[in-house]
Structure 1
Amino acid sequence: MEDVRWPAEQLEEHHLEISNRIRNLFWTVSGDYDTEFEPDTEKYVYSKQTVLYEAVKQGAFARYFDQKKLGMYLMKKLHFSAGEDMLLPLQRFRNYEEPRETNERIFQFRAYANNRDGLALKTVGSSLMERPEKNKILIVLSDGKPCDMSIQRPGTRQPKIYDGEKAVKDTAYEVRRARNQGIFVIGIFVGNEEELSVEKRIYGKDFAYIRNISNFSRIVGTFLRRQIDME
């Protein structure tokens, strides 16, 4: 099986003729990584940033969408604690009204341990439903391992551990909820093959296993075209 870690130099420009009828596009990234990165892991995280940036910048999506209707959310480290230091789990990297140049904010993304995928999907889904556009798409990059093993900090409230079957069911539930609301949810799997069955449980038939960056645009474009044809 081909390694899913893609060095930046392998990235190529791919163009898709995607209908501009789709007006809403969100990204959320989910992944579990150690806070202290090994060199190879740092390269992997950087590659994820580059994949996302190139997908938006180089024509995989953005040039075929109304630039004022493109938004990006990426999951950051999630903390729960008592009082006012409870932090939001998502960071908006681009608002709908911001110019295309703000795509470069994608390189501000740093992956950390602990993510609650269900909560992230619920939050982004609610935001999408506030938009007036008819067509809404949520593209989720995931390693197939929803997990939050937050460590107790002195003087804070300890959240319940979020992992295993409970986390998988919660994430799958939020995917179904979003779809029932009319949001087209695509799961893009970039994890290890042993987690593939979990990804299928969460996203059902609407997910893609990306083994090589050269296929990224083509595979995701196929999903988008299929959704367009259903309209």
Structure 2
Amino acid sequence: MKIKIRSLCAISVALVSIDVFACQPHYYKDDVGICWPDGGYVVEAVNPVPDLLNIGGAIVKGDVNALTQAIGGAIVKTTCPACAIMLTGNDKVFVEKVVGRGWLVYMTTGSPMIVLADATSNIAKGIDLGTPEPAVFSAPPSQVRAGIAYSASEATCMVRNIANGSITAGWVDPPVLRAANGVEKVYPNVSVLPVDTLKITSKNDCADVPEGQEKLTEIVIKIGDSRSIPVEEPVMKYFFTGKAA
């Protein structure tokens, strides 16, 4: 009998103890004193563990889903509907390539662009590479000379638009252009004219491209345009565009 009394006392104390504590906001307390979520309130699931991305051998924290959406937003703004197919799977390897090196791809207009994404802010932007810019170090239009056959290696990525034949190669570091006579000059401190050709070899260290485009590892192009973009991150920022020579 003493045991039963002690048990009842323990239960009473427990119930009193439970009743002392109020439920947190958006929860209600039942007759027993247990707190339950309010029926009109949705408790959102929170993932406290970020994705770990391998960016050029360095492990950084990021959100694959948020970055995929940001890249998709940049693609929509730069008109590349076919690129959306590349973003349906929240592919971690694809996101790592875009964040690490940038995404070299062609728009439906036939112009190349580079998509850059930041893992810290989950922000992405697309930069049109198809608008020619005056090359400060190019030879003056009045200067006439024979074409020079240059070569440049170690391009990070090289992509061809199958429809119009345009080819764009990108480098993280300034490419070294070598002439047939052995003279080497670092871009952009080199004279480049539309009569020149450039043999390019690529490491193919870049994200996949959509249908209608293909990645190349080696080709000779007739130079149509060259440019650089003012970014500090170790992404592709030096570009040559042209068509197969």
Structure 1 length normalisation: TM-score? 0.24
Choose between structure 1 and 2: higher helix proportion: 1
Choose between structure 1 and 2: higher strand proportion: 2
Query: More relative contact order in 1 or in 2 (CA 8 Å, sep 6+)?
Result: 1
